[in-house]
Amino acid sequence: MEHHLQVTDSRTGKSYTIPIEGDYIRAADIGRIGAPEGKSDITALKAARPLSIIDNGFQYTACMESSITHIDGLRGTIRYRDFPIENLFHEYVHEDVMYLNIWGNLPTQQQKDGVRETMYKAMIPNQSVKDVISSFPRDAETFPMILAGMSAFAASDSVICKTRHQQSAMFHGHLDVADEALVRTIAYLASTISLIYSHKNEKPWNAPEPNRSLLSNLLLMMGITDPQVEKCLAKLWILYADHEMTNSTAAVLHAGSTLIDPVSAVTAGIICGYGPLHGGAIDLAYEAFRQIGTPERVPPFIERIKAKGGRLFGYGHRVYKTRDPRVSLIEELLEEHREAVDANPLLRVAMAIDKYANQDAYFTERGLKANADLMGCFLYTAMGFDTDMIIAITILSRTPGALAHWRESLTQPVKLWRPLQKYVAPLAN
């Protein structure tokens, strides 16, 4: 073998050769260290148990092998199915990239039309879904409304319900069934979000149309008719189409490993997406913008952050050691909407923070910059979206990518995810 680790176990004196594959070693090879050579070798087992790995937060652990997205945080590059994200951004729209990530090729018009037709049919809610959404107060938080809406859709889908009542796998090894369910799941989420938006804003809900894309139908159902909004989001959503193994994508796969249906798996991802250390950080960043109020109050706010008097949400990203390639592409879109950005009071505060941070040694020396998740939200705000809906719509833009990983897992051997723990004895009373 070309590259390997040579490891000696000081407990037994035995040496082991651990192959290096790319930049990875396999945990199963680590598990060989200390393992008895035969089942009857109890003496050796008592002397040195097989090793396991402790990695709190999975910071150094890869849980899957995937061919969908590659991120090089050192070089600052992202590739979907080996296409550079910059090329996709400038030459295609989200509908094309969604298909690419899920099915591995850029779609023909016929393939796009097939997905559109399936989504359109699934987007039409039955009365129970409408009743669930309308039962919430108009000022209720969007997060629990999404969970309720998705549950109502799942309850009316016979295939989704059947998943839990048969011994054989519904989706694993049956990609035709999985593909239909996957597309319906995306449609259910789009419809749920549009119903919530209409309910909260006391606007009529508009029925989808079969010849429209996911994004186009979302905006139609929400009653948003400005073509510039669709043009902008068709590009912005490319940048959020997938981001490799995020916390929420891992949640989708963790749930999916039980052979549960895609609606339930995506719901697990949505729950993670709203956490304050994940997508929920956007809400906290916007709350800070409101508290600051005006650009003139930015300097003392930043100084308080530097003195450990608070946290600046939406800045920094643990994956990138250089500039996130999505940021420059978002800046192109921001420039196209510069007038709307400059006219918005919240965004004037956000831009003042960004300008201050980019010139302050505390931030520059630590490489702390506004991340792409936060900067993309500025576009939603500039186009008139309520902050309350931004995370919901962003999660929708990411859901097809998470489901691409779910679909990929269906082609791999079934493996229930069950991490280990290290037991630590409690302190004596």
Catalytic residue among 96, 179, 242, 373: 373
185 touches 263 (CB < 8 A): yes
Catalytic residue flag (residue 342): no
Number of C-beta neighbours around residue 105 at 10 A: 10
SS3 388: helix
Residues paired with residue 17 on neighbouring β-strands, in sequence order: 6
Q: Strands 15-19 and 77-80, how do they pair?
A: unpaired
373 labelled catalytic = yes
The three-class DSSP label of residue 5 is strand
Handedness of CA 298, 299, 303, 304 (dihedral sign): negative
Residues in contact with 11: Cβ distance below 8 Å, sequence separation at least 6, in sequence order? 34, 47, 48
In the block, tokens 């990983």 appear at 405
Return the biggest CA–CA distance within the chain: 76
Q: What span, in angstroms and rounded, lies between the C-alpha atoms of 405 and 415?
A: 14
Instruction: Report the run of H or E that residue 84 belongs to, with start and end.
Output: strand 83-84
Q: Which of 317, 324, 354, 405 is catalytic?
A: 317
Active site residues: 317, 373
